[in-house]
Amino acid sequence: MTTAFLQEIFSSVQGEGIYLGVRQIFVRFQRCNLACNYCDTNEATGELSEKFRVETVPGSGIFQWFNNPVTPRQLMDVVGKMAAEKHHSISLTGGEPLLYKDFLLEFLNLFRGTCQIFLETNGTRWEDLKELISMIDIISMDFKLPSATGLSLWDCHEKFLKIAKEKEVYVKLVVSAETKKHEVDRAVKLIQRIDHTVPLILQPVTPVNKAKAISPRDVISLQDHCSLSLKDVRVIPQMHKTFELL
Ligand code: SF4
């Protein structure tokens, strides 16, 4: 039987990207395959935690703790009840949810038809996406730049975006003072090669850990530059850092 380590389950509003403000059920998975310099999720890279928390009444901010790991059926029992309240979609987020591909295959079979499936991912695990794509509705895919990860992930991102294009997808690029123009150019060219209408979101970094903020003027200038090649380039900061519900 497949199981997963969760961090938390709660109901809130989406705080990033083009679905900013829609009401979602968030299922946050522990663990990630990357270690970005701006990561604000300790559970992504640290030790696995034996407990996860669940909001008792959607939107109340009151939580109860449970033991990890969980089965797909146990997750379904929790989020199935939450989905009865009005939600735009369920957001599978992390960490990196695609680390739990086998778990998700089982869970999404159970959850199918309840509400839309929204995947928030670092856009690297394309083999896993390939197996799950038919069950996902919307994909919020990050491009992780070498200046943030120390890695060159372009090939993975390209393969991932080609598969994600079967469904609704947008690309998010976190930009900081360390972001290099040639990296942004490479990201833009990659999207342009696949489909220049895929929205690109420039998300100014929230300065945590080693990440340094980018000036608003520099972000606007990047937007102008990217808009020469792509149809829809938006600047959208993280909302939940200024609007803390939890
Ligand atoms: S991909 Fe996301 S969760 Fe993983 S290390 Fe980077 S910012 Fe953190």
150: phi > 0 → left, psi -120 to 50 → alpha, else beta; which? left
CA of 110 to the centre of ligand 1 (A): 27
Give dist(CA 240, CA 246) in Å, integer: 9
For residue 158, the surrounding DSSP H or E stretch is: helix 154-164
Residue 9 backbone phi and psi in degrees, to 5: -135, 125
Q: Which atom of ligand 1 is nearest to the CA of 44?
A: 3
- Which residue, by CA, sits nearest to atom 1 of ligand 1? 122
CA of 116 to the centre of ligand 1 (A): 23
Q: Is residue 246 part of a domain?
A: no
Q: Is residue 32 part of a domain?
A: no
CA of 43 to the centre of ligand 1 (A): 10
CA of 44 to the centre of ligand 1 (A): 7
Q: Is residue 61 part of a domain?
A: no
Q: Is residue 208 part of a domain?
A: yes
Closest CA to 163 of 120, 124, 204: 124
- Which residue, by CA, sits nearest to atom 7 of ligand 1? 39
- pLDDT tens across the length of the chain (246 residues): 699 999 999 999 999 999 999 999 999 999 999 999 888 776 666 788 999 999 999 889 999 999 999 999 999 999 998 887 789 999 999 999 999 999 999 999 999 989 999 999 999 999 999 999 999 999 999 999 999 999 999 999 999 999 999 999 999 999 999 999 999 999 999 999 999 999 999 999 987 767 789 999 999 999 999 999 999 999 999 887 666 654
Q: Is residue 242 part of a domain?
A: no
Give dist(CA 190, CA 184) in Å, integer: 10
By most ligand atoms within 8 Å of CB, the mutation choice from 30, 33, 122, 140 for ligand 1 is 122
Count of domains forming the chain: 1
Give dist(CA 239, CA 15) in Å, integer: 5
Range of the domain at 117: 12-25+85-235
Q: Is residue 78 part of a domain?
A: no
Q: Which atom of ligand 1 is nearest to the CA of 122?
A: 1
pLDDT of residue 44: 65
> Could you count the other beta carbons within 10 Å of the beta carbon of residue 162?
15
CA of 146 to the centre of ligand 1 (A): 13
- Which residue, by CA, sits nearest to atom 5 of ligand 1? 35
pLDDT of residue 43: 63
Q: Which atom of ligand 1 is nearest to the CA of 33?
A: 4
- Which residue, by CA, sits nearest to atom 8 of ligand 1? 39
Q: Is residue 141 part of a domain?
A: yes
Q: Is residue 107 part of a domain?
A: yes
**CATH code where residue 155 lies:** 3.20.20.70
Give dist(CA 119, CA 96) in Å, integer: 10
CA of 124 to the centre of ligand 1 (A): 11
CA of 41 to the centre of ligand 1 (A): 7
Ligand 1 pocket residues where CB is under 6 Å: 32, 34-36, 39, 41, 44-45, 94-96, 122
